[in-house]
Amino acid sequence: MNITTLIIIALIIIAIFILISIYNQLVRLKAQFKNAFAQIEVQLKRRYDLIPNLVETAKAYLKHESETLIKVTEARNQAISALKNASADPTNGQNIQALNRAEQNLNRNMSGLNLQLEAYPDLKASTNMMQLSEEITSTENRVSYARQAYNDAVTSYNIALKTFPAVLIAPLVGHTEKGKLLEFEDSAQIQSAPKVNFN
């Protein structure tokens, strides 16, 4: 064997190790963002389980506001369905976007319920309502934390897909779907200035 053959063999071995390393990195990052989604799923299920208790507790006080309670219940059911679909395949961007929309709808309806609850001081002072409100607030914080961890994992995966030489190798080894971020807030609403009306 001459030196040229040895150099070619060495380059082939180095290329194989680089390919294996890139493939393993993509598999690891994809697994991390799927695991991060599983953590969100746990917290969202916990939240969805608390909402019926909140609605039942509020029903006695909010007899005239039944439309609000119905909207919250319907939004919760839609969110559960969207979560089930997203859980089946967290790499499917359409499922993640559907979950984003369902969560935005649920958040809007929960905000409406919270406004209704403000008008009933006896309800706010109820021990059950205080405990449920505390549980829901705690769960919301956990969801936010889990969502941030998921978005960080998706961002790492997406960056790895776009970097060289992974951008060339990823499609060849089945890593074509980029992860979608979870943004439960309505970004257009957050970016618009609040309107103040003194009339």
pLDDT in tens, 121-160: 777 777 888 888 889 889 999 999 999 999 999 999 999 9
For residue 97, tell me if it sits in a domain. Answer: yes
For residue 148, tell me if it sits in a domain. Answer: yes
Range 31-34, long-range pairs (CB < 8 A, 24+ positions): 32/153, 32/156, 32/157, 33/90, 33/150, 33/153, 33/154, 33/156, 33/157, 33/179, 34/90, 34/91
Judged against a pLDDT cut of 50, whether residue 28 lies above it is answered with yes
Task: Note the pLDDT of residue 67.
Answer: 85
Structure-token pair, residue 25: 């990195």
Structure-token pair, residue 69: 């309670």
Task: Note the pLDDT of residue 147.
Answer: 92
For residue 59, tell me if it sits in a domain. Answer: yes
pLDDT tens profile 154-190: 999 999 999 988 998 888 888 887 788 888 765 554 4
Q: Which domain holds residue 105?
A: 33-182
For residue 173, tell me if it sits in a domain. Answer: yes
For residue 98, tell me if it sits in a domain. Answer: yes
Place of tokens 């039942």: 56
Place of tokens 């009306």: 197
* Helices within the chain (DSSP H only): 3-59, 66-88, 93-118, 121-125, 127-162, 166-169, 187-191
| Alpha-carbon gap, residue 160 to 129, rounded angstroms | 46
For residue 193, tell me if it sits in a domain. Answer: no
Task: Note the pLDDT of residue 115.
Answer: 81
51 near 120, Cβ under 8 Å? Answer: no
pTM of the model: 0.78
Number of domains in the chain: 1
pLDDT band with cut points at 50, 70 and 90 for residue 17: very high
For residue 81, tell me if it sits in a domain. Answer: yes
- Ranges 56-60, 82-86, 88-92, 137-141, most confident: 82-86
Task: Note the pLDDT of residue 191.
Answer: 45
Residue 51: give its domain's CATH number.
Answer: 1.20.1440.20
77 near 66, Cβ under 8 Å? Answer: no
182 near 40, Cβ under 8 Å? Answer: yes
For residue 4, tell me if it sits in a domain. Answer: no
CB-based contacts of 147, cutoff 8 Å, min separation 6: 40, 182, 184
